[in-house]
Amino acid sequence: RFGDGYTVVVRAGGPGPAAVQSLLQQHFPGIVLREQHGGLLQYHLPARVTSLAAVFSLLAAHRGPCHIEDYSVSQTTLDQVFMHFAQEQSDGDTGEVTASGQDAAPNPGRRLSRFLEDDSYQESAV
């Protein structure tokens, strides 16, 4: 069923996300890392793997030892499933090149990816 499962987003500080990654892989074998930008990790966790309470309990218990700054768990929406599918499709597309050597259809996602991966930008809250 589409949209089945949870989206788990964890922001890890300190030494980095390695401790969080191994913790989640160890406790939830079916979990899949969808995106990583610095210390921000986004996972898809199938609902059949565990309960929502177990995810919150594990993250709360390891907040200090794994340097978890914050986290969220939500049901995966159909929109997220579609966006992931579209991203997988475009990853396999090398793009068309014109005679001038430029991409026929520039990918705005590349610019966004570079921005998200650039550690020189600071987060601000209003």
> How far, in Å, CA of 81 to CA of 31, rounded?
15
User: Pairing state of beta strands 40-45 and 68-75?
Assistant: unpaired
| 98 confidence band (pLDDT: 50, 70, 90) | very low
Q: Cβ neighbours of residue 30 under 8 Å, at least 6 residues apart?
A: 45, 46, 48, 49
| 97 confidence band (pLDDT: 50, 70, 90) | very low
6-70: CATH architecture: 2-Layer Sandwich (3.30)
| 76 confidence band (pLDDT: 50, 70, 90) | confident
b/e code 86-123 from CB counts within 10 Å (16+ = b)? eeeeeeeeeeeeeeeeeeeeeeeeeeeeeeeeeeeeee
**pLDDT value at position 13?**
92
The Cβ-side half-sphere exposure at 49, using a 13 Å CA radius, reads 17
Instruction: Indicate if the pLDDT at residue 100 is higher than 50.
Output: no
**pLDDT value at position 89?**
79
What's the rounded mean pLDDT across residues 82-90? 74
Instruction: Indicate if the pLDDT at residue 12 is higher than 60.
Output: yes
Domain ranges in the chain are 6-70
Instruction: Indicate if the pLDDT at residue 92 is higher than 70.
Output: no
What's the rounded mean pLDDT across residues 20-35? 94
| 87 confidence band (pLDDT: 50, 70, 90) | confident
Q: Which residue has the tokens 């200090």?
A: 64
Give CA 117 to chain center in angstroms. 13
